[in-house]
Amino acid sequence: MEATDQVRARARELGYSERTVMDVDKDFDWNTLTEESNSLSLFAEQRILELRMSGAKPGKPGSAALVEYAARPADDTVLIITAGKLDKTASNSKWYKALDALGVMIQCWPIDSYALPVWIENRCKMKGLHPDKEAVRLLVDRVEGNLLAAAQEIEKLSLLVDSGRLDAEQVTAAVADSSRFNIYDLSDAALAGDIARTAHIISGLQDEGVEAVLVLWALSREIRSLLAAAESSQQSVDSALAKAGVWSKRVPLMKKALAKHNQHSLKRLLSLCASTDRVIKGMEAGKTWDQLYQLCLCLAGYQLATE
C-alpha cells in the first residue's frame, strides 16, 4: 500500500491528476482495461489507471488484455498494477514478461516473525518513538501477521506519547484506558491468590474486549520475573526482584507469590504460557479465555500439576 502511495504521489507531482481504479474479481470484464486505456480524459491530459488484482493469475482473457496493453500502452497514462504473490508460473507467463519489459516491478516481501521486531522498532523511530525491548515484543505479539494493524498501532502511539520514550506500560495503556479493569489488576489478583477477584476481573476483561494477547503478556512477564528471582542463589529475593525490573511497591506481592512456587512450577507455568499463546494464535485447539483463567489459577497457586 505504501509503495503504491509513493508511486501515485510522484505521478501526481508530474501532472497525472486523474485517477481510475479497477478492482479485478471473478466477474471482472477485461475489456474495461482496453476501453479505459483508449478513452480520452475529459478532465486531464495525464492520468493514472490502477488495476487491483487479488491474486496473480488473470486467466486467459486477462492475460490477453495485459499483453495487448503492453504492445500499445496508452499515451500520457501511468498504469499501476497491484497483485498477490507471483509464483514461478506467473513470473514466466507471457503477460508478466511483457509488462516487466515495459515497466518496473516492485516485489514486497512479507515480514516474517524474525524480522518483525526490527521492522517495528524502525517504524517507531520513523514516527519519533524510541521503544524499549518489552514494548517492541508486546507490539510483535499483538500485530504479528498484520502489518496494517502494526502501522495503525504505531501511528496511534505516536499521537498519545509525548516524550518519545515508549515502554510496554504505554503500549498497554493505549488499549486499557477505556477498560473498567486493566491487565495489571488481573496479574495482581492472581499473584495475591485472590481467586474470586481473579475470576471477576478476567470476566470483565473478556466482556470489555481487551485483547487476550495483552493479558497473556502481563501474566507471562510476572512469571518470568518470579522465575528469575527463584533461580537466583547468590542474591537476596529483594535484589533478584529488583534486577528483574520489579517495582519496589510490588515486591511484597511478588514475595507472596514466590512462597507458593519453586523453579519447577514456574517453568511449568511458562510452558502453559507458550501453550496459551498458540491457542490465541489458532495454532492449537482450545478456548482462549479458559486457558487464561487456568493460567491465573496456576499462578495463584491452585491446580498446579505435580509429578
Query: Between vectors from CA 78 to CA 75 and to CA 79, what angle results, nearest 5°?
Result: 110
Q: Are residues 93 and 142 in the same domain?
A: no
Q: Are residues 280 and 196 in the same domain?
A: yes
For residue range 123-174, list pLDDT tens digits in order. 999 999 999 998 998 888 777 767 888 888 898 898 888 878 998 888 887 7
End-of-domain residue from the set 59, 75, 102:
102
Q: Are residues 127 and 80 in the same domain?
A: no
CATH of the domain at 198: 1.20.272.10
Give me 305's grid cell.
Answer: 500439576
Give the pLDDT of residue 89: 85
Question: What is the average per-residue pLDDT within 239-250?
Answer: 77
DSSP character string of 25-78: -TT--THHHHHHHHSPPSS-SSEEEEEEESSS--HHHHHHHHHHHHHSPPTTEE
Give the pLDDT of residue 170: 85
- 306 domain residue, yes or no: no
Q: Are residues 127 and 232 in the same domain?
A: no
Q: What is the average pLDDT value for the chain, to the nearest integer?
A: 86
- Contact (Cβ atoms closer than 8 angstroms) between residue 62 and residue 70: no
Rounded-to-integer distance, Cα 267 and Cα 89, Å = 48
- 178 domain residue, yes or no: no
CATH of the domain at 22: 3.40.50.300
Q: Are residues 289 and 193 in the same domain?
A: yes
Give the pLDDT of residue 305: 47
State what percent of residues in the chain have pLDDT above 90.
38
Q: Is the pLDDT of residue 122 over 70?
A: yes
Question: What is the average per-residue pLDDT within 52-66?
Answer: 89
Output phi, psi for 48, to 5 deg: -110, 130
- 108 domain residue, yes or no: no
- 217 domain residue, yes or no: yes
DSSP character string of 213-264: HHHHHHHHHHHHHHHHHHH-SSS-HHHHHHHTT--GGGHHHHHHHHTT--HH
Cell numbers 507458550 correspond to: 274
Question: What is the average per-residue pLDDT within 10-27?
Answer: 90
- Contact (Cβ atoms closer than 8 angstroms) between residue 94 and residue 67: yes
- 307 domain residue, yes or no: no
Q: Are residues 165 and 211 in the same domain?
A: no
Nearest to 58 by CA among 69, 48, 47, 49: 69
User: Which has the minimum average pLDDT: 249-253, 264-268, 279-283, 301-305?
Assistant: 301-305
Residue 243: other Cβ atoms inside 10 A: 13
Q: Are residues 32 and 65 in the same domain?
A: yes
Of residues 221 and 45, more confidence is placed in 221
Cell numbers 474486549 correspond to: 209
State what percent of residues in the chain have pLDDT above 70.
93
End-of-domain residue from the set 42, 73, 102:
102
Q: Are residues 96 and 151 in the same domain?
A: no
User: Which has the minimum average pLDDT: 112-121, 124-133, 213-222?
Assistant: 112-121
Q: Is the pLDDT of residue 178 over 50?
A: no
Q: Are residues 21 and 88 in the same domain?
A: yes
Number of domains in the chain: 3
Strands in 117-225 per DSSP E: 130-131, 165-166
Give the pLDDT of residue 42: 57
Q: Are residues 131 and 160 in the same domain?
A: yes
CATH of the domain at 160: 1.10.8.60
- 9 domain residue, yes or no: yes
- 110 domain residue, yes or no: no
* Pairing between β-strand 77-82 and β-strand 47-53 as defined by DSSP bridges: parallel
Q: Are residues 167 and 257 in the same domain?
A: no
Question: What is the average per-residue pLDDT within 270-277?
Answer: 94
For residue range 156-165, list pLDDT tens digits in order. 898 888 878 9
Give the pLDDT of residue 212: 92
Q: Are residues 128 and 93 in the same domain?
A: no
For residue range 27-51, list pLDDT tens digits in order. 899 999 988 888 765 555 788 999 9
Output phi, psi for 78, to 5 deg: -105, 120
Identify the domain containing residue 72 by its residue range.
2-102
Question: What is the average per-residue pLDDT within 233-253?
Answer: 77
Give the pLDDT of residue 41: 57
Give me 130's grid cell.
Answer: 524510541
Give me 278's grid cell.
Answer: 498458540
- 134 domain residue, yes or no: yes
Burial of 211 (0-12, 13-18, 19+ CB in 10 A): middle
